[in-house]
Structure 1
Amino acid sequence: MTRVVLVVDDEIGIAELIDAVLTDEGYRVLTAVNGRQGLAIMAKDHPDLVFLDYMMPVMDGADVLRAMARDLSTDGVPVVLMSSMPEDLVAERCPGYAVFMRKPFRIAQ
C-alpha cells in the first residue's frame, strides 16, 4: 500500500520540490496552498504524514494543528512543521507537531 503525504504550503516552489522528492521515493503526494484546503484534503484522503507551513494565508499552520487535534480522523497524524522563523517562536503557538524544519532547508534534511 502506497503511503500518502500531504504538503500544505502557499509557496508553490517548495511544495513542488517536496512533492518531487517524495514521489521519487514512492509516496503518493497531495498538495494544498492553504490550511483550509489542506483540511479538506485530509478529510477525503487521510494522509499518513503532513508537511505543514506555519505562515499561510486563509488558515495558518497553528490553526490547522488545532483543527487536526479536534478531529479523530486527523489527531495523531504526524506533522512536519516548516517555517523560516526560529522553532522556539513557532512552538509557542503550535503544539502538536512531530518535527520542525527551518526554511530554507536542504533537501537532504
Structure 2
Amino acid sequence: MTGLVLVVDDEFGIAELIDAVLTDEGYRVLTAANGRQGLAVMTKDHPDLVFLDYMMPVMDGAEVLRAMVSDPSIDGVPVVLMSSMPEAMVAERCSDYTAFMRKPFKIAQVTTLARRLLIQSDST
C-alpha cells in the first residue's frame, strides 16, 4: 500500500511517531509544524491523506479545514483530526474532517485509519 500522508502537528514527538509508524507501513510521509506550513505542503505535494492536529499555533486545525474546503485543489482530501479534547467539543468548531483520533492514541489506530481512508479514497 502506498500513498502520500501529511502529518500536521506542532508537537514534534507526535509528528515523528506517526511518521515512523506510517513509513514502516510503506507510506510516504511529509510533516509540517503548523497549519500554515501544512497548507503550503498540501498545495505543493497534494497528499492522499492528512493527519491534522486541532490545537496549534499560527493556524489551528479548524482554520486549516476551512482553507482546504475553499481550495478546489485540496478540497476532498481525507483528514484525520487529532485532539486531546473530546470530539463533541471539537465538532462545535469544525466538521469538515473525515475521522477523529483522540490523543493519546494507540499506534494501531494510526495504521488502521490510514489503511481504511486510503482504500476509500482510492475507490472514489
Q: Which TM-score applies when normalising by structure 1? A: 0.97
Provide the residue aligned with 1:106 in structure 2.
Answer: 106
User: Structure 2 matches for 1:72-91, cutoff 5 A?
Assistant: 72-91=72-91
**For 2:58, what is the secondary structure of its paired residue?**
coil
CA RMSD of aligned residues (A): 1.0
Aligned counterpart, 1:36: 36
How far the C-alpha of 1:74 sits from its partner, in A, is: 0.7
Deviation at 1:93, TM superposition (A): 0.7
Alignment partner of 1:17 is 2:17: yes
> Does the residue aligned with 1:7 lie in a helix, a strand or coil?
strand
Residue 53 of structure 1 pairs with residue 49 of structure 2: no
SS class of match (2:107): coil
Query: How far apart in 2 are the matches of 1:27 and 1:39?
Result: 20
> Which runs of 5 or more residues in structure 1 are unaligned?
none
Whole-Å separation in 1 of the counterparts to 2:2 and 2:21: 15
Cα displacement (A) at 1:95: 1.0
SS at structure 2 position matched to 1:108: helix
Q: Identity, % of aligned pairs?
A: 83
Instruction: Measure how far apart 1:70 and its partner are.
Output: 0.2
Higher helix share: 2
Query: Deviation of residue 2 (structure 1)?
Result: 3.8
TM norm structure 2: 0.86
